């Protein structure tokens, strides 16, 4: 049941601290962390919310809640998800301790050791770590700039002698690749999965962080599509739209999948913190979210543009990258002769870190990519950091 | 990997709500919930703490933290556990999302489907639910008023053809039995386990809630004992000394056990809420805990005495019970001809609920007990509730 998982350096401040020690006291420019910068959190709005709570609500903050979630938060989420076209009325919401817990619960629900599951390649490292821990055999399908490679998916399905339990995808502002699935690609994916009985896990942690409001239409989740015979579990998170420290996520799934998931959730931590759920619910229900999202979208768009401009100015012509339309990440492609891990070591000596491509390969091999996050460092660090990175890359050309 | 678990009615407000509906709109007197009454939570102290946080700490509340826990909270816990004589310097603390998550992590670390584990009988239902979910084969050992039955434990160990992975016990203010292990019994238990390689899980969720300060010496945890060759994992919780809504617990274990536990924790929810850890740490480090514990001990002692007096006044002579020295529970023994489930149904019609004995039997059979909690209802409900319960019991005599 238990297997050692790879370390998810990309996520944890502790690891960042270790990196800081390694870089021997120099201050570090980190393009590594997939988290918001501390200065972007809505602490003043939360002060207002906390101090506006009635004593009865404060008492409820301290108490156990239902395993499925704090009912007013579930109601707020139903409204929020309905507005995205998601079937919140016919499906059920389970509030989880971060959306990572949702992926963990789903894995525990569907996977026995040795079962096959499908992932994208590259894939969110937190999910890889869960799939490894529960002994899933990962089979990965490459993605291109428009989404998962449909032909490779078909070939893989034809070759496999076991039916995969599920396919895990992050179609919007992909982590680490920064791409979006086009609507066409999403429909093709649904056609391929239709009737196969393979569950689709649609991870939408970044969907609200588009840079251009016009995109909000076509990036809508597959879970909102009609007329396909695919069981989709949709997962969402408060980590990118409020703060990871709340450890709040949710999954929207059919009543059958929900019922077993609730039972597993009960055996994991009984229920998610009422305190965190009550504060988050006030944030949603009192209308704090939309203005905060407007602020975040502008902020991340500006950061993206700064990194984009800096890359254009300093990177050698051999290096390619995407221009993301939302989210946190730019995914650099190195020449095949160059290893991301080598560039990492060279950069670390000069006080710049990022996450190596190999980290996101479910098979821990492919290493010709670099994930740069523009969400977490002070803006003034972007250009100096990119210069150092470009210099390190030049050494290996 | 996944098995349906029994419902843990005792813990969840949602189930309590269902019960309230069943009792058709009448107001309910609940001796069921193993949680503090909402009016006992330190909400004003928390107001002071929250509003005293610096902006930098507030920002940190919103952020990811290390998987093992927020370092200043770990430091505060080390001090807290050292004061109890626990080996916090040579062992390691993992902060968990409630102590239930600690039990879940330990189970995932040690148990493969079909492995044997040992429990007490009766046993904390949350733990039973975890052991069932992860497919453990539970073998239970009866307890008496002084602790686990040593002879039965020895007989069981002699008979088993597989070595049990661990023994799970709650030696202090037992849930549901309300008893304490005597020091003699604890030493005998350690002698029996010594050198067997069977891990001991010592769940100490209630240890700070003694009614008499003199007891604080001899109820000290086995994890603090020296000179036994037993690997003990000690688990603790903030649920009874601050509030279950924080979902904060911890485990103290050897570095080897800790390392694997950290890796599993990472695959469950990445880290426990920084927000909740920072507030809890301020509560500990600024000295709010001790005065609050003094208040709680007096409050629960008074409630225990009210229930005790009421039981003495109203219960038929055939009914026996313990007088607890701390914690939340009185454990009634019915005549063998009477079923706790029948009494439950009779009481429910009259608006009184409790948790049936069978709930705490790992084999879900033994049903001659009733668990009454005195922690959760308004004090004025205690005597009327006990009268109704006594009347229901008389019907079955």
Grouping H, G, I as helix, E, B as strand and the rest as coil, residue B362 is coil
CA angle B330-B332-B335, nearest 5°? 175
pLDDT at res. B26? 58
Contact B14 A68 (CB under 8 A): yes
Minimal-distance CA residue of chain B relative to A272: B247
Q: How many Å apart are CA A121 and CA B374, to the nearest integer? A: 55
pLDDT at res. A26? 59
Check residue A166 and report its DSSP letter.
E
Q: A147 with A156: CB under 8 angstroms?
A: no
Alpha helices in chain A (DSSP H): 13-22, 43-52, 55-61, 71-82, 99-110, 125-133, 150-159, 183-193, 215-218, 255-269, 274-285, 289-314, 340-349, 382-396
Contact B12 A67 (CB under 8 A): yes
Chain B environment of A12 (Cβ under 8 Å): 64-67, 270-271
Does the pLDDT of residue A235 top 60, yes or no? yes
CB-nearest to B269 from A101, A112, A245 is A101
Does the pLDDT of residue A369 top 70, yes or no? yes
Minimal-distance CA residue of chain B relative to A242: B62
- State residue A320 phi and psi, 5-degree precision: -115, 155
Does the pLDDT of residue A9 top 70, yes or no? no
Question: Residue B135: CA atoms inside 13 Å, Cβ hemisphere, count?
Answer: 14
Other Cβ atoms less than 10 A from the Cβ of A128: the count is: 26
Q: How many Å apart are CA B101 and CA B105, to the nearest integer? A: 6
Question: Residue B256: CA atoms inside 13 Å, Cβ hemisphere, count?
Answer: 4
Could you give the dihedral angle defined by the CA atoms of residues A224, A227, A232 and A235, in that order, rounded to the nearest 10 degrees?
Answer: 0
Check residue B285 and report its DSSP letter.
H
- State residue B329 phi and psi, 5-degree precision: -125, 140
For residue B181, give the nearest of B211, B207, B156, B154 by alpha carbon: B207
pLDDT at res. A128? 97
pLDDT at res. A5? 41
Identify the residue among B4, B57, B64 best suited for mutation to test binding to A, counting A beta carbons within 10 A and taking the highest: B64
Q: In Å, how far are B71, B82, B110, B356 from B259, measured between CA atoms? A: 16, 21, 13, 38
Chain A environment of B126 (Cβ under 8 Å): 270
Question: Which pLDDT band holds residue A365 (cuts at 50, 70, 90)?
Answer: very high
Contact B246 A50 (CB under 8 A): no
pLDDT at res. B3? 45
Identify the residue among B247, B262, B283 best suited for mutation to test binding to A, counting A beta carbons within 10 A and taking the highest: B247
Q: A202 with A171: CB under 8 angstroms?
A: yes
Q: Tokens in use for A4?
A: 């050692």
pLDDT at res. A16? 46
Respond yes or no on whether ipTM tops 0.85: yes
CB-nearest to B243 from A50, A56, A63 is A63
Chain B environment of A246 (Cβ under 8 Å): 62, 273, 275
CB-nearest to B13 from A66, A112, A267 is A66
pLDDT at res. B27? 79
Could you give the dihedral angle defined by the CA atoms of residues B81, B85, B90 and B92, in that order, rounded to the nearest 10 degrees?
Answer: -20
CB-nearest to B2 from A8, A247, A264 is A264
Chain B environment of A96 (Cβ under 8 Å): 269
CB-nearest to B11 from A132, A260, A270 is A270
CB-nearest to B14 from A2, A66, A130 is A66
Give me the mean pLDDT over the A291-309 stretch: 98
Chain A environment of B14 (Cβ under 8 Å): 65-68
pLDDT at res. B105? 98
Q: Tokens in use for A28?
A: 């570090």
Q: How far is A116 from chain B (nearest CA, A)?
A: 15
Does the pLDDT of residue A98 top 70, yes or no? yes
pLDDT at res. A27? 79
What are A11-38's pLDDT values in tens digits? 344 444 445 455 444 579 999 989 999 9
pLDDT at res. A70? 98
Q: How far is A364 from chain B (nearest CA, A)?
A: 17
**What is the pLDDT tens value at each position of chain B, 397 positions in all?**
444 444 443 334 444 444 545 544 457 999 998 999 999 999 999 999 999 999 999 999 999 999 999 999 999 999 999 999 999 999 999 999 999 999 999 999 999 999 999 999 999 999 999 999 999 999 999 999 999 999 999 999 999 999 999 999 999 999 999 999 999 999 999 999 999 999 999 999 999 999 999 999 999 999 999 999 999 999 999 999 999 999 999 999 999 999 999 999 999 999 999 999 999 999 999 999 999 999 999 999 999 999 999 999 999 999 999 999 999 999 999 999 999 999 999 999 999 999 999 999 999 999 999 999 999 999 999 999 999 999 999 999 9
Chain B environment of A53 (Cβ under 8 Å): none
Could you give the dihedral angle defined by the CA atoms of residues B95, B98, B102 and B105, in that order, rounded to the nearest 10 degrees?
Answer: -100
Q: Backbone dihedral region of A37: left (phi > 0), alpha (psi from -120 to 50 degrees) or beta?
A: beta
């Amino acid at each position: 049941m238990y297997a050692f998982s790879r370390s998810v350096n990309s996520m944890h401040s502790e690891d960042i601290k270790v990196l800081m020690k390694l870089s021997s006291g120099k201050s570090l420019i980190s393009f590594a962390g997939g988290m918001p910068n501390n200065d972007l959190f809505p602490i003043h709005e939360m002060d207002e919310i906390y101090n506006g709570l009635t004593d009865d609500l404060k008492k409820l903050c301290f108490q156990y809640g239902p395993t499925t979630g704090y009912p007013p938060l579930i109601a707020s989420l139903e409204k929020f998800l309905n507005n995205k076209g998601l079937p919140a009325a016919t499906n059920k919401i389970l509030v989880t301790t971060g959306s990572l817990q949702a992926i963990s619960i789903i894995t525990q629900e569907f996977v026995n050791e040795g079962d096959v599951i499908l992932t994208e390649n590259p894939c969110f490292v937190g999910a890889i770590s869960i799939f490894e821990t529960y002994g899933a055999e990962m089979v990965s399908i490459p993605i291109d700039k428009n989404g998962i490679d449909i032909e490779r998916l078909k070939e893989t399905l034809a070759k496999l002698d076991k039916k995969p339990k599920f396919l895990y995808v992050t179609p919007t502002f992909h982590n680490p690749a920064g791409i979006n699935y086009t609507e066409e690609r999403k429909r093709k994916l649904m056609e391929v999965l239709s009737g196969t009985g393979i569950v689709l896990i649609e991870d939408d942690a970044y969907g609200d962080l588009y840079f251009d409001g016009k995109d909000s239409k076509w990036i809508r989740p597959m879970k909102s599509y009609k007329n396909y015979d695919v069981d989709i579990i949709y997962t969402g998170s408060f980590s990118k739209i409020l703060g990871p420290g709340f450890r709040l996520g949710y999954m929207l799934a059919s009543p059958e999948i929900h019922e077993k998931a609730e039972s597993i959730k009960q055996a994991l931590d009984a229920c998610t913190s009422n305190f965190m759920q009550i504060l988050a619910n006030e944030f949603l229900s009192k209308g704090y979210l939309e203005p905060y999202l407007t602020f975040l979208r502008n902020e991340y768009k500006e950061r993206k543009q700064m990194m984009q401009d800096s890359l254009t100015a300093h990177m050698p012509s051999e290096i390619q990258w995407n221009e993301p339309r939302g989210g946190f990440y730019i995914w650099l492609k190195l020449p095949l002769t160059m290893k991301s891990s080598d560039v990492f070591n060279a950069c670390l000596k000069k006080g710049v870190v990022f996450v190596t491509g190999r980290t996101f390969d479910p098979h821990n091999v492919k290493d010709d990519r670099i994930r740069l996050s523009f969400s977490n460092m002070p803006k003034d660090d972007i250009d100096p950091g990119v210069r150092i990175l470009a210099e390190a890359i030049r050494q290996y050309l």
